[in-house]
Amino acid sequence: MATVSVCQYHRGGFSFENCKRNALLEADINKLGFSSPAARKTGTTICGVVYKDGVVLGADTRATEGMVVADKNCSKIHYISPNVYCCGAGTAADTEMTTQIISSNLELHSLSTGRLPRVATANRMLKQMLFRYQGYIGAALVLGGVDCTGPHLYSIYPHGSTDKLPYVTMGSGSLAAMAVFEDRYRPNMEEEEAKRLVRDAIAAGIFNDLGSGSNIDLCVITKGKVDYLRPHDVANKKGVREDKIYGRPVTGNYRYKHGTTGVLAKTVTPLNLEVVEENVQTMDTS
């Protein structure tokens, strides 16, 4: 006689059971007229370029929630290891957590091997994790760094495919940035030229793509040195209101005077407390 078992053995790999349930719930919610909370995406323009001595990574700094700017100055270039950094586009939580997990695992790996981590290792770890989640982790990454084998640059897509290229762009502003790269990239550039190229590519994304904006962050990685330039270029400042006659900034006065928020009632209840017992415990600061 066969017994009916409620619990089915987990066969390994990620369980996608709840995805169908989530889809049904989402449809139900939409029928009622409500919308489920949108995950904050970064909109974004990110890019990277390999030059003579290393790699230059660039990113904008706008995070959007739908078509409203949620963060005007968020940091999209994430630390992976002292010689490897990663720009992230897509769902903000996914890029943040994914890069932190791989950074942590890479540090353990580096301690185990006793060597500086390689960019290819970080790439392998990231792609294997993203593939395991079958694209449900919405992280599109530009991974760059310099290791014992030289400078390397990878682009990693949410489903887990990677491309090893001399110049890459990702995010909603990737087309604008790639247009700049295709026009002016050449192999073995000098550092200043590479920084200018990446800055201009991100600027193209910032001004022509509505999902990207604010400032330009740059990360220049060479053998033995990392320049994390945040911000490298403040491309957009909040509008300064100018006085036409004197030319000095004049803003409307929006300060509230005391008493603007009406106090309707005020009750003071004194708490009668008396010291019953006093106990001093020293902290061990040795």
Partner 1 sequence: MMMSAQAYGDKGKMKEYHYTGPVEHKFSPYAFNGGTVLAVAGEDFALVASDTRLSEGYSIHSRDSPKCYKLTDTTVIGCSGFHGDCLTLTKIIEARLKMYKHSNNKNMTSGAIAAMLSTILYGRRFFPYYVYNIIGGLDEEGRGAVYSFDPVGSYQRDTYKAGGSASAMLQPLLDNQIGFKNMENVEQVPLSLEKAVQLVKDVFISAAERDVYTGDALKICIITKEGVREEIVPLRKD
Residues of this chain that bind partner 1 (CB under 8 A): 11-17, 20, 43, 62, 64, 67-69, 72, 132, 134, 172-173, 206-214, 235-236, 238-239, 241, 250-252, 254, 256-257, 259-262
Q: Is 44 a catalytic residue?
A: yes
Q: Which are the contacts of 98, defined by CB distance < 8 A and separation ≥ 6?
A: 88, 126, 129, 130, 137, 139, 141
Whether 77 contacts 196, CB under 8 Å: no
Q: What are phi and psi of 127, to 5 degrees?
A: -70, -35
Report the residue number, 62 or 127, with the smaller CB distance to partner 1: 62
Q: With contact defined as beta carbons under 8 Å apart, do 54 and 218 qualify?
A: no
Query: Cα separation of 47 and 59, whole Å?
Result: 7
Angle, helices 119-132/92-113, rounded to nearest 10 degrees: 130
Among 3, 42, 44, 64, the active-site one is 44
- Residue 120 CB, nearest approach to partner 1 (Å): 23
Of 135 and 150, nearer to partner 1 (C-beta) is 135
Q: Which is nearer to partner 1, 190 or 242 (CB)?
A: 242
- Select 81 or 214, whichever has its Cβ closest to partner 1: 214
| CA-angle at 186, arms to 180 and 190, nearest 5° | 105
CB of 237 to partner 1, least distance (A): 8
Q: How far is the CB of 279 from partner 1 (least distance, A)?
A: 48
155 Cβ neighbours under 8 A, 6+ residues apart:
48, 140, 141, 142, 143, 162, 163, 165, 168, 170
Pick the closer one to partner 1 by CB: 165 or 235.
235
Half-sphere exposure of 251 (CA within 13 A, CB side): 6
Give me the least distance between CB of 249 and partner 1, in Å please: 12
Least Å distance between CB 57 and partner 1? Answer: 20
The catalytic residues are: 44
